[in-house]
Structure 1
Amino acid sequence: MSTQESNFQRFVEVGRVVLLKAGPHSGHIAVIAEIIDHNRAIVDGPTTGVPRQSFPYRHLTLTPLKVKALPRNAGSGTVKKYVEKEEIVAKWDSSSWAKKRAAVEKRRTLNDFERFQVMIHKKGRRDRVRKLLKSSKA
């Protein structure tokens, strides 16, 4: 038997930071505190407002972030201490994934006039880029 490298980079494990895809806390991040079985895990997000609860894997998205050395079946206080120590929320907020989600959410909440302003700015930027390209080619 040969041992092969896995193609997967993110695994369901205690301490893995996950993004919730369903339920009232959809869009928030939480940490896997304990693995129940091959379908569910206990997630906890004491710093993001997600209560400790059982959550099916199909409603979770694994992120590249991980809380190192989190003990199995850690309580909410312990999870909060580890998350704050490693500044997980700050790392998540500075990630391109979170920034993109925030931009999409902001774009969704724009009113008609703000959408018009975005269109005008995009047209202006497009014109400036075209003029720069034209002058650099000539």
Structure 2
Amino acid sequence: MGIQESFKRYVEVGRVVLINTGEHKHKLAVIVEIVDQNRQAVIDGPVAGVPRQVLRYSQVTLTRFVIKLPRGAHTPVVKKAFEASGVTEQWNSSKWAKTLKARELRRNNSDFDRFKAAALKQQRRRVINTAAKKVQA
């Protein structure tokens, strides 16, 4: 199997990207124009509140979603296509989005939340260990 057969995410107009850095971190946007093949693209994310801007490819991650858009599409066109394609719902149900959400929840836990989680893990371990001992005996 060659590289071309296994590689599926290309930088293209209409490709939905996840922003990695800055104030819009973990928000979805769409590539509307390619400025430079190696470094930059114009992105727009009207549904997620991301303004139209030029970002480096190192600041975004390509997702598997692609929206049918003309090059240089204006913000209302992008918004209409984004909403019609249902990408937001598909993204929210993806494992990737759920992982990011769980990470964020763990990061924002208070001391008491961490204590409760540890106590629940202890209870679970006790139940599992007593059941395992009964099976062995």
Task: Please give the TM-score of this superposition, normalised by the length of structure 1.
Answer: 0.88
Q: Deviations over 1:10-34 (max 9, x none)?
A: 1111111111111221111111111
Q: Could you tell me which residue of structure 1 aligns to residue 81 of structure 2?
A: 82
Q: Could you tell me which residue of structure 1 aligns to residue 90 of structure 2?
A: 91
The DSSP-based 3-state class of the residue aligned with 1:121 is: helix
Equivalent-residue separation in structure 2 for 1:36 and 1:129 (angstroms): 57
Consecutive unaligned residues in structure 2, runs of 5 or more? none
Q: 1:1-138 alignment to 2 at 5 Å?
A: 5-38=4-37, 39-67=39-67, 69-136=68-135
Q: Which amino acid aligns with 2:107?
A: R
| Cα shift at 1:86 | 1.0
Regions of 4+ moved over 6 Å = none
**Identical pairs, percent:** 43
| Cα shift at 1:132 | 4.0
Counterparts in 2 of 1:136 and 1:65: CA distance versus 1, 3 Å: farther
How many residues end up aligned between the 2 structures?
135
Task: Please give the TM-score of this superposition, normalised by the length of structure 2.
Answer: 0.89
Instruction: Say what the alpha-carbon RMSD is for the aligned residues.
Output: 1.8
The DSSP-based 3-state class of the residue aligned with 2:6 is: coil
Consecutive unaligned residues in structure 1, runs of 5 or more? none
